[in-house]
A and B are shown apart, each in its own frame.
Chain A
Amino acid sequence: MPQGRSIEHSNHGALLSLRPVADPPEPAPEGRVTDIDQWGRSAKARALIARLYGPLYRHWFRAEWEGLEKIPAEGGALLVANHAGAIPIDAPLIMHGIEQELGRPVYGLADYFFRRFPAVGTAWSRGGGVPAHPDNAYRLLHDERQLALVFPEGTKATGKVYSQRYKLRRFGRGGFVDIAMRAGVPIVPIVIIGSEEAMPTLAKSAALAKVLRVPYAPLTANMLVLGPLGLLTYFPAKIRFRVLDPIYFDVPPDQERYPRSHVFDEAEAIRQAMQDQIYDMLRHRRSIWFG
């Protein structure tokens, strides 16, 4: 956990510009030939992804937001969402959605697992993916005042089978709350429905996962219907997002340590609030495909 992150945080202002960072984050210094930033994100790559994702976002999933204005227009904030689908579509959709609607870049914090794979890891970081190391999150949120997205359930959520849909898993060890407190930024919960039905997992093979060295090896309904093409194709479920009220923590930032029980209680409260909202949205959903 955050053993690192050491030095005089109070003095950061002298060295780092703390203005909110627009897209592209920094004007490329004289002599650069790419626009790849310090996190590996490229605004050009993002624009390309936006061209690919735009139609998917608008026409396939017909994504709709509720409460988008609750996401801060400037300053750091940690976005927290529920995670679903064998190859989850939620991260790219949220990142695309917020970048399009609010014009702010979103860095997606995810398991370092991606980095081990050639091409996949590079593409992921060009699109704004960052390994979910506490120090990375702190820098993004505190030093650079960016938006960062995290799925506290981790692969426990994307690896669950369809019968477990919309039941939030444990929120890790509450590390996301700890980081937000440390960085002095609010947590903005986002709940998503439709993502579970876009690529539902019917069964899993632990043995195959072990051989492939991946967290889980799913058999999805998409594969059953479409064969190998199902690996890449999502069902056109209607995707709805709801942004919950930002949570500001009443604690001083940059503490060595925050009481475990406090962190846990906050994490659990956020989980419960998100679970309630998911049930509320499902209660009002008439159809999986039409919302």
Chain B
Amino acid sequence: MGRRILITGIASFWGSRIAKALESHPDVDVIVGMDTDAPVIALERTEFVRADETYSILSRLVTATQVDTVVHAGMIVDSARVGARRIHELNTIGTLNLLAAVGAAGSPVRSLVVKSSTMVYGAGPQDPYWFSERMPRVAPARTSVERSLLEAESYLSAFVEDNRHVRTVTLRFANVLGADIDTPLGRALTLLLAPRIAGFDPQIQFVAQDDVVRALQFAVEHRDLSGIFNVAGAGRLPWSEVLSLAGKAPLLLSPFATRLIIAPLSRLGLDLPPEIIDLLRYGRGVDTRKLLHAGFTYQHSTLSALQEFVEGRRLKAAVGEITPTYRYESDVEAFFRHSPAVVAPG
């Protein structure tokens, strides 16, 4: 029997991309995607279910679809455009509901893959240069997104304790760069002047957007993989060098009272979430050897992820969006999936 997979956060960039990647697997029978909004890219055979913010329909959904694998890609890591309240609902309460559904008596789920972030390590002056998976964070978590991710991960570790029969993989992704995805650092690099805190030149580590999808896919496919893994490109780059490679002049921000100064600048398009300000001061590095030992191979290092991003931006500047914008129409999707009139290829 083929695999039956549920993906949360299907409307997010990652949810859609991982669904698309899994659709081409012949041994995946069913993909169900759940989110509060419709998917953002065209999907062949993924079934979309609309949920409320806290994922309260999850246990019904899991029982009804008899999925064996859940990919939790719905956690929010970019707090620039989402309120603290919604972050709490989606990340903390959403994960709690998800774990309750997956761990319920008689649940068919045997694999759980969670997309988390290296933001759980924070960024501070006392940090080691490279965090490995077992190291606790040093700087206190002060922002809502960091707190919610930590809470979600603590629920998750309790879940792992209680549900040894469920294979759980937590992937902590470094700051993502990609021409197609909107991330805080990606946005910072597309502004006229890129922000830089005067006197600080942190070492930043990126992961390429394609490697994120590939790592999620790797975690779904490898049924002997379990535990927490950092996912990031090899090497780190000083932020000043990132700017010169991206061809950006710096907008120097005062190292004192930085948050106060940034508040009015957000009207000019400079929306730096507080956790990114800490990052631009102290940087962050994660040790990726654990996932490499497990057999994952990266396509991009930090440097090549940046180069790929820069080239992608150039192309966009020259010809505009390459992929046509997609809008989910439920009756159209339902027709193509379920109408007897549609002739299945092959």
Interface residues in chain A, defined as those with a beta carbon under 8 Å from any beta carbon in chain B: 3-8, 11-12, 15, 29, 31-34, 36, 38-40, 112-113, 115-122, 130-131, 133-136, 139
Contacts and interface: CB of A to CB of B under 8 A. Distances in A.
A139 B132 CA distance: 12
Contacts of B240: 34
Nearest to A137: B128
B28 to A, nearest CB: 31
Interface stretch (B54-62, B155-163, B196-204, B312-320): B196-204
A162 B132 CA distance: 43
B129 A33 contact: no
30 contacts: A4-B128, A5-B135, A6-B133, A7-B132, A7-B290, A11-B289, A29-B235, A31-B304, A32-B237, A33-B244, A38-B236, A40-B238, A112-B126, A113-B125, A115-B125, A115-B282, A116-B125, A118-B199, A121-B125, A122-B200, A122-B201, A130-B129, A133-B126, A133-B127, A133-B129, A134-B128, A135-B129, A135-B132, A136-B128, A136-B130
Contacts of B197: 118
Interface of B: 125-136, 197-201, 203, 235-238, 240-241, 244-245, 255, 282, 285, 287, 289-290, 292-293, 301, 303-304, 307
Nearest to A130: B129
A31 B201 contact: no
Given A7-B289, A31-B307, A38-B235, A121 B200 contact: yes
A212 B128 CA distance: 25
Nearest to A126: B201
Nearest to A4: B135
Contacts of B241: 32-34, 36
Contacts of A7: 132-134, 287, 289-290, 293
Q: Which of B128, B131, B134, B304 has the most CB of A within 10 A?
A: B128
Nearest to A138: B128
A8 B245 CA distance: 35
B303 A39 contact: no
A178 to B, nearest CB: 15
Nearest to B306: A31
A136 B199 contact: no
Given A36-B238, A40-B203, A31 B129 contact: no
A3 B255 contact: no
A225 B93 CA distance: 65
Contacts of B303: 29, 31-32
A282 to B, nearest CB: 36
A279 B131 CA distance: 42
A104 B302 CA distance: 27
A118 B255 contact: yes
A119 B235 contact: no
Given A38-B236, A122-B199, 8 more contacts: A4-B135, A34-B238, A38-B129, A40-B238, A113-B125, A121-B125, A131-B129, A135-B130
Nearest to B199: A118
Q: Which of B130, B235, B240 has the most CB of A within 10 A?
A: B130
Given A38-B235, A122-B199, A15 B126 contact: no
Nearest to A35: B241
Contacts of A36: 238, 241
Contacts of A131: 125-129
Contacts of B134: 3-7
Contact of A139 (B129, B203, B301): B129
Contacts of B126: 112, 131, 133
Nearest to B240: A34
Q: Which of B129, B136, B240, B292 has the most CB of A within 10 A?
A: B129
A279 to B, nearest CB: 36
Contacts of A12: 289
A5 B132 contact: yes
A6 B292 contact: no
Contacts of A133: 126-129
